[in-house]
Amino acid sequence: MNAISPAMSKMSGRKVTVHYGQKQALFDVNLEIPERMVTALIGPSGCRKSTFLRCLNRMNDVIDGCRVGGEIVLDGQDIYDASLDVVMLRARIGMVFQKPNPFPKSIYDNVAYGPRIHGMGATKAELDEIVESSLTRAGLWNEVKDRLDQPGTGLSGGQQQRLCIARAIAVSPEVILMDEPCSALDPIATAKIEELIDELRENFTIVIVTHSMQQAARVSQKTAFFHLGYLIEWGDTEQIFTSPKDERTQGYITGRFG
Amino acid sequence: MSDAKMNGTAAARPNPRPNLSQQWIRRRYAAERRFRLYGLLAVAAAIAMLAVLLVSIVGRGYSAFYQTQVSLDVFLDPAEIAADGRTDADTLMGANYMALVRESLRGIFPEVTGRTERRDLNRLISNSAGDVVRTAVMDDPSLIGQTIRLTFPLDDKIGMLHKGFIDRNLPESERVVSDREIAWYDRLVSEGLVSTGLNWNFLSKGDSREPEQAGILGAFMGSMFTMLVTIVLALPLGVMSAIYLEEFAPKNRVTELIEVNINNLAAVPSIVFGLLGLAVLLGVFGMPRSAPLVGGVVLSLMTLPTVIIATRAALKAVPPSIREAAYGVGASPLQVVLHHVLPLATPGIMTGAIIGLARALGESAPLLMIGMVAFIVDVPGAVTDPATVLPVQIYLWADSPERAFIEKTSAGIMVLLAFLITMNAIAIFVRRRFERRW
């Protein structure tokens, strides 16, 4: 495995386990997520890659009977520590979901909601600026600048997903988690999102779950392969796709199963 | 039989072709047409029944909104009103104005002299006539000594005769009005003194034993105050309990037990809540009898389970993706509920509230237990005043023997329906405002 110096690591999981009730879903995952890079989590359906992703911002807390073991560290601090406030954590780690899920509010309010609840942008002008810069960075500003007061749910699927990305980056998170952000989109909208992810890498650490190996190869620098709740192999994307060490990885990326 | 063998033969034989014959398709469409017809019949039957109900109620009740009146010239005799020349409020208040009206009536029928005859004659006019004169005099004491024309309601029996509800051709012994009274009435009509006017009494007075004086306002205000208490208690309590149970409470034995009990409470007969109110609110806490406050508390206990169940269903129906989105940007659980879930659930909550409150408005059994069935003349001015409510008032009138109460009963139902429709319209308006697509 390819070694990353601890200084570069933004988040890391150490012996992470997840139980749903009595059933164990995730087994001893050790993974480093390097700063300002895109880490792709790949694997066949039901391999628990999304489960691992949702551990990173404690979204699993909402699910009844879900227990997370081991340690997940963000900048040297355990995020499951009792002293850490989960609301503050989610302000630092944004999330984009599989299905675009804008709030049934105006485009402006969708983006401004996060900044408002976190006390950013005291004046209307400051808030306007946050909204404009977030929509610009999400590549949506030119398409929606004349209709910010219209409902976000009225946009097309690809636009909605970019709105969700704008909503996530509006609170200036350090890490953005993306759970199959393109699975509900057509190829053109997908290409736009992938382009956007590549741009966002300059400022954010990104973890993306994807079903598409081509997508993982296109957008990520690091790739982790999950199978049946185990992290089988992780490393540089190039290395995983050209010379995987484990034969299960080899089998998956060459399409023999999954 | 081995699976492999079965699979083998099934795979070898191709699946049969779909039946594309006209006959098969006709049968499918015929089934659909039949289903539509049944649906139409069901809707038509429901509309027909509603129409019959409305026509019979309005047909019987509309006549209660106008009343038969007689106009008489009344001499405001100073000797009768203010014998010693004083015109202070007390003197004017206490004078015998009925005597003046009777004097005027006697002027029209000078031939009536006998004691019983005169008494019967006096009964042609409602005994509220004195109040009409009193009001006129108190408004303008300078009228004393003059002769003025005033309009008085006729007695309810004469009113029924005028409205055509009493058959003159029946033998006298089977009628509530005698031949003599009919003759007097006919003479008043021929002199052009009888008229019909809007029955303001009905809309502005409380109950009375005299049908021509009985009004719905007392019961209307009683219902209003009771509903006010019910809404103020049941809606916030119900919605907050539902939010807590659905969004915050841990899922364990205790909350499961609470949930089962809430569902059971929704099915408890309403009179049980009335008994509870009688035993606890009146018995233990000594709250006032017949008061809308107690009625409202009892009805809100009855409505609470409905509101809680409807609210929980509405909260459950909010897509989880919205919650996740809000959690994802770092909203606290309370912010998720207040900013996102509750606005989306409001239409469903309003539907539950409408169902609960409509049931509470039409409820009479639990209110009988706490004394809201009493005969109350005064219009209540506060939630602690003795009062009755519309359904109980309708029940009381339906139970009264006078012919004139039949139209009052139907008119009372009309007022109750109007109240219900207004209340629902407000709730639907609120629901529309919050209805959003997502």
Please report the residues numbered 233 through 262 in chain B whose beta carbons come closer than 8 angstroms to any beta carbon of chain A: 251
Q: Across the interface, do B322 and A104 touch by the CB < 8 Å criterion? A: yes
- Check if A202 contacts B (Cβ < 8 Å): no
Q: How far is CA B147 from CA A135, A195, B70, B130, in A?
A: 85, 98, 16, 15
pLDDT digits (tens, 9 = 90+) for A155-184: 999 999 999 999 999 999 999 999 999 988
Is A3 a residue whose pLDDT tops 70?
no
Distance, CA of B409 to CA of B56 (rounded, Å)? 12
Please report the residues numbered 28 through 57 in chain A whose beta carbons come closer than 8 angstroms to any beta carbon of chain B: 57
B404-434 helix and B22-61 helix, angle to the nearest 10 degrees: 130
Please report the residues numbered 115 through 144 in chain A whose beta carbons come closer than 8 angstroms to any beta carbon of chain B: 117-118
Is A6 a residue whose pLDDT tops 80?
no
CATH superfamily of B216-434: MetI-like (1.10.3720.10)
The DSSP annotation for B163-216 comes to TT-S-TTS-GGGSSS-HHHHHHHHHHHHTT-EEEEE-HHHHH----SSGGG--S
- The mean pLDDT value of chain B amounts to 89
pLDDT at A11 (0 to 100): 93
Average pLDDT of B180-198? 90
pLDDT at B403 (0 to 100): 87
**B318: its two tokens:** 């909010």
Strands (E), B57-140: 66-75
Is B438 a residue whose pLDDT tops 90?
no
Is B2 a residue whose pLDDT tops 50?
no
Is B19 a residue whose pLDDT tops 90?
no
**A166: its two tokens:** 């704008």
Length of chain A in terms of residues written: 258
pLDDT at A2 (0 to 100): 47
The DSSP annotation for B236-255 comes to HHHHHHHHIIIIIS--SHHH
pLDDT at A209 (0 to 100): 95
pLDDT digits (tens, 9 = 90+) for B289-299: 899 999 999 99
Average pLDDT of B400-418? 92
Phi then psi for A183, rounded to 5 degrees?
Answer: -70, -20
Is A7 a residue whose pLDDT tops 80?
no
From chain A, pick out residues whose CB is under 8 angstroms from the CB of B251: 64
Distance, CA of B167 to CA of B1 (rounded, Å)? 89
Domain ranges of chain B: 66-198, 216-434
The mean-pLDDT minimum among A108-117, B47-56, B62-71, B92-101 falls in B92-101
Is B117 a residue whose pLDDT tops 80?
yes
pTM for the structure as a whole: 0.82
Is A42 a residue whose pLDDT tops 90?
yes
**Beta partners for residue B70, in sequence order:** B152, B194
- CA closest to A169 among chain B residues: B329
> Residue type at B41?
L
Confidence band, pLDDT 50/70/90 cuts, at residue B277: very high
- CA closest to B248 among chain A residues: A62
pLDDT at A230 (0 to 100): 92
Q: How far is CA B8 from CA B1, B2, B15, in A?
A: 12, 10, 14
Please report the residues numbered 306 through 345 in chain B whose beta carbons come closer than 8 angstroms to any beta carbon of chain A: 319, 321-332, 335, 339-340, 344
Count chain A–chain B contacts defined by CB atoms under 8 A.
69
Average pLDDT of A141-154? 92
Average pLDDT of B228-253? 93
Across A18-27, A214-223, B41-50, the highest mean pLDDT is recorded for B41-50
pLDDT digits (tens, 9 = 90+) for A58-116: 988 878 788 898 999 999 889 998 888 888 899 999 999 999 999 999 999 999 999 99
From chain A, pick out residues whose CB is under 8 angstroms from the CB of B324: 59, 62, 95, 97, 101
Intra-chain end-to-end CA distance of chain B, in Å: 53
From chain B, pick out residues whose CB is under 8 angstroms from the CB of A168: 328-329
pLDDT at A174 (0 to 100): 93
Q: Across the interface, do B437 and A153 touch by the CB < 8 Å criterion? A: yes
Please report the residues numbered 46 through 105 in chain B whose beta carbons come closer than 8 angstroms to any beta carbon of chain A: none
pLDDT digits (tens, 9 = 90+) for B200-224: 888 888 898 888 889 999 999 999 9
Q: Write the CATH number of the domain with boundaries A9-254.
A: 3.40.50.300
Phi then psi for B47, rounded to 5 degrees?
Answer: -65, -40
- Check if B5 contacts A (Cβ < 8 Å): no
pLDDT at B321 (0 to 100): 92
Average pLDDT of B236-256? 92
B59-98: buried (b, 16+ CB within 10 Å) or exposed (e) per residue? ebbebbebbbbbebebebbeeebbeeeeeeeeebeebebb
The SS3 call for residue B2 is coil
Average pLDDT of B304-328? 93
Q: Which residue has the tokens 């002027």?
A: B107
pLDDT at B305 (0 to 100): 94
What are the residues whose beta carbons fall under 8 Å from the beta carbon of B258, sequence distance 6 or more? B245
Confidence band, pLDDT 50/70/90 cuts, at residue B436: low
Phi-psi region of A70 (alpha: psi -120 to 50; beta: other; left: phi over 0): left
- By the 10 Å C-beta count (0-12 exposed, 13-18 middle, 19+ buried), A155 is classed as buried
Is A5 a residue whose pLDDT tops 70?
no
Q: Provide the pairing of β-strand A9-20 with A66-74.
A: antiparallel
Q: Which residue has the tokens 């014998």?
A: B83
**B411: its two tokens:** 């008119």
Q: Which residue has the tokens 């997908």?
A: A190
Q: How far is CA B321 from CA A51, A213, B129, B255, B337, in A?
A: 16, 26, 70, 25, 13
Candidates B204, B170, B172; CA nearest to B67 is: B204
Selecting from A62, A95, A104 the residue whose C-beta is nearest the C-beta of B436 gives: A104
pLDDT at B10 (0 to 100): 61
Domain ranges of chain A: 9-254
Average pLDDT of B122-128? 87
- CA closest to A61 among chain B residues: B327
pLDDT at B437 (0 to 100): 52
pLDDT digits (tens, 9 = 90+) for B334-359: 999 999 999 999 888 988 888 899 99
* Alpha helices, H only, A16-56: 49-56
The mean-pLDDT minimum among A125-129, B258-262, B374-378 falls in B374-378
Higher pLDDT, B4 or B253: B253
Look up residue B142 and give its DSSP letter. G
For chain B, what percentages of helix, strand and coil (3-state, to nearest 5) are there?
70, 5, 25
CA distance A95 to chain B (A): 5
Q: Which residue has the tokens 């005028």?
A: B162
- Check if A8 contacts B (Cβ < 8 Å): no
pLDDT at A8 (0 to 100): 79
pLDDT digits (tens, 9 = 90+) for A12-36: 999 999 999 899 999 999 999 999 9
pLDDT at B8 (0 to 100): 54
